[in-house]
Amino acid sequence: MTTKLLDVENLTMKFGGLVAIDDLSFSAAKDQITSIIGPNGAGKTTVFNCLTGFYKATAGSMFLNKENERLNLKKFSDFKVAQKAGVARTFQNIRLFPQMSVLENLMVAQHNKLMDASGFTILGLFNASSFVNKEKEAVEISKYWLDIIGLTHRADDDAGDLPYGDQRKLEIVRAMCINPHLLCLDEPAAGLNAKESAELNKLLLFIKNEKKTGILLIEHDMSVVMEISDHVVVLNYGKKIFQGSAKETKNSPAVIEAYLGTEE
C-alpha cells in the first residue's frame, strides 16, 4: 500500500511582488520517488527551501506523516529539520566538507547520536566504552554505505579529492546517514556522464526499495526522471501544470508546451 509521507497543501511563497510558488499542492509517498520538474525558474528549488526551513512559506501547509505523528514542517527550521523532522537535502552544487575525509563526512551526519553517547563530550575524551561502541557502530554504518557506492577504498581520502561523480554519490549517502524519512535531492544528476547517471539511478532505486525512504527529486536529466520516478509533478512559473506517472508526463500537451512552447 502506498502511504502518503509528505503532504504539501496550497503552498505559496512570495518575494515582495514576485510569486515564486503559487498555490501548490502535491504529495509524496513513502516508498516512491517523486520528481519535481519544470523549466528554469519554475520554483522547484524554492519548494525545497520551504520544506527545509530556509524560507518561511507565505501561505499553505506542509505535513510529514510519520508512523504515528503528523509533523507540521513549517515549525522546523535550521538544524531541527534534520534532527527532529528527519528531512535531509542536498544542493545543486556539491556541498561536502571537502577538507574532511570521506569517512568523516558520513560520521558528521551521525553526530547527534554520537553526541548523546559521548555524554556531552566528557565521556568521549576518556574513551568511555559507551562512546567507543557508538562510534564503532557509526563507522560500520558509514562502511555499509561506502560499500554500496564503491568508495570503501577511499574512506580516508579528503572528500574534496574525489572525482565529481563520486562526490555526488557521497553526498547522497551522507544525507542517508542522517536516517531521514524524506530525502530531498536537488539536481543530483547535474554534470554526470551517462554511466554515472545510470549508477545514480541504481543508488536511488536501492534507497527507495531497501530503505523505504521517500525521495523528492528535482532533476533536469530526463533519462533519470523518466526511468526511476513513480510520480512526476511539473511546475511552470510556480504553478503546478501537471502531475502523473512518468509516461503520462511525457505525453502531456501542457508539459510539452511549457518546455517547448506552442506552435504558431
Q: Considering beta carbons, is residue 98 or 150 the nearer one to another protein?
A: 98
Q: Considering beta carbons, is residue 34 or 52 the nearer one to another protein?
A: 52
Report in angstroms how near the CB of residue 177 gets to another protein at its nearest. 8
Report in angstroms how near the CB of residue 167 gets to another protein at its nearest. 13
Listing DSSP states for 221-233 in one string gives -HHHHHHH-SEEE
Report in angstroms how near the CB of residue 245 gets to another protein at its nearest. 30
Q: Considering beta carbons, is residue 38 or 214 the nearer one to another protein?
A: 214
Q: Assign residue 13 a region (left: φ > 0; alpha: ψ between -120 and 50; beta: otherwise).
A: beta
Report in angstroms how near the CB of residue 214 gets to another protein at its nearest. 17
Residue 20 CB partners (closer than 8 Å, separation 6+): 13, 14, 43, 46, 238
How is residue 134 written as a grid cell?
A: 557508538
How far apart (Å, rounded) are the C-alpha atoms in residues 99 and 202? 28
Report in angstroms how near the CB of residue 110 gets to another protein at its nearest. 8
Between β-strands 70-72 and 87-89, what pairing exists: parallel, antiparallel or unpaired? unpaired
Residue 246 CB partners (closer than 8 Å, separation 6+): 35, 225, 226, 227, 229, 230, 232
Going by the DSSP 8-state scheme, the letter that residue 85 receives in this structure is: I
Q: Considering beta carbons, is residue 124 or 188 the nearer one to another protein?
A: 124
Report in angstroms how near the CB of residue 99 gets to another protein at its nearest. 6
Report in angstroms how near the CB of residue 227 gets to another protein at its nearest. 27
Q: Considering beta carbons, is residue 180 or 238 the nearer one to another protein?
A: 180
Q: Considering beta carbons, is residue 4 or 143 the nearer one to another protein?
A: 143
Q: Which residues of this chain interact with another protein, rule CB under 8 A?
A: 52, 78-83, 88-89, 91, 95-100, 104, 107-109, 111-112, 114-115, 118, 120-121, 124-125, 135, 174, 178
Listing DSSP states for 11-28 in one string gives EEEEETTEEEEEEEEEEE
How far apart (Å, rounded) are the C-alpha atoms in residues 195 and 132? 39
Element (H, E) at 2: none
Q: Considering beta carbons, is residue 186 or 221 the nearer one to another protein?
A: 186
How far apart (Å, rounded) are the C-alpha atoms in residues 94 and 211? 23
Give the closest residue to 173 by CA, choosing from 145, 154, 206, 143.
145
Give the closest residue to 145 by CA, choosing from 84, 82, 213.
213
Q: Considering beta carbons, is residue 105 or 243 the nearer one to another protein?
A: 105
Report in angstroms how near the CB of residue 20 gets to another protein at its nearest. 20
